[in-house]
Amino acid sequence: METMRLFIAVDLSESMKAALIEAQNEMYDGGVRGSYTREENLHLTLAFIGEMPDAEPALEALSGVSFTPFELSLEGLGCFGDLWWAGMRASPALEALARRVRRALADSGVPFDRKRFSPHVTLLRKARGPMPGIRIGEASMTVDAFSLLRSDRGKGGMIYTELGRFPAAPAREN
């Protein structure tokens, strides 16, 4: 049986991607080598599902997740071993969205990686060299949707295909 590799993520705005690409360029210019994340693959993972034979159970589970739009801002750089990332400013709304997504998956019996949610965007894998003294540029965006994505290995790296998009509920007027 053929399976597909699935994850749930927030797509980033063009301005946020531009700030991340600038940081990657500074790393590269500083002599850091490794596998840089391509611009079209920059995203914020809410939950990693992994291999599934069918996306339908995840799509159904996620269709019930509701949230209102919220702001997301870049903040800081860090690493998990040789994986380097850009962090996000603390956001109760982002934490709540990740909890809702994960609860919907769990309630529907869709398996996912239960590691603690740590909001970050992967910039570089297999990093070699010292982390240059750079700062991540200021960038913010409004999160108004999240997506279920399929990940396939292609000739030039990973190819992500959106299988479903889940928009936020409109913000209520006061």
The pair phi, psi for residue 131, each rounded to 5°, is -70, 120
Residue 23 contacts by C-beta under 8 Å, 6 or more apart in sequence?
77, 86, 123, 134, 136, 137
43 flagged as catalytic: yes
**From the candidates 9, 12, 43, 47, which is the catalytic residue?**
43
**From the candidates 49, 120, 121, 147, which is the catalytic residue?**
120
91 flagged as catalytic: no
Active site residues: 43, 120
